[in-house]
Structure 1
């Protein structure tokens, strides 16, 4: 049985309907309100969750114990409706509704803010899902209301984009 603030694993398989998850994880005892993006730090096993309506990211250890949260403090780096998460080397990248990507160290220290509102290169209108491609070091960003995917280089600078003619409000990559 799971204790408060612990991680509970539930295994269930339904091969015919494919409705039931093969594996699911629940965090008990921590008030997550509108959890969106989830990512796991492969070096530590820590679980990072974008807690959208609480305007923060919460970090849990591999046993489900909350370690810390960040982003809900006033000042630079204050989050507004975090959505997508991706771990890119030693950085945690977070998309947020106020049209930017936050670049944090995995320990919760703000490094930089990437992008601004708009329709140009490195400009976003409701960035959502993020994916880091370890094979080439590129970051893929769903720029939802601009109906495209922007790709950033290893250095997190603009590289290219695609989808403007055939994507409608992409949510995740």
Structure 2
């Protein structure tokens, strides 16, 4: 009879493997691993901007650079606005928040006028290191931010950020 791994040990192994992957990628691309603009801050920025882009795609009903079904769109993307948010462990992170022409886009992950994101690092880690299902990640966003992020949006976010 072989002993089975405990869930905590499996989680730690998954987190370690994810961390090793990101460290190797960062070194290959010449990115700083530590310091004020190190990998954790860059990674947090990438995840937040990806999540906001996917929220906008869900709001408009189509991906970036895709035409609407009838060829005409009543509402379209209208650039981005720079915003600095403060996280618990990586400090201030400057992100680009997408806008729409109607001004009807209400982001959930980083709300309008929100400047502090407590717990965002846990979300970042859970997206990659825990191996959670899309439903579990969606529930995690709800728990941390009180944000209703659909499973489909979570799936698109995780697919896009993996290419980071």
- Indicate the TM-score class for this superposition, using the shorter chain for normalisation: under 0.3
* Richer in strand (by share): 1
Give TM-score scaled by structure 1 length: 0.26
Higher relative contact order (Cα pairs below 8 Å, separated by 6+ residues): 2
The structure in which a higher percent of residues are helix is: 2
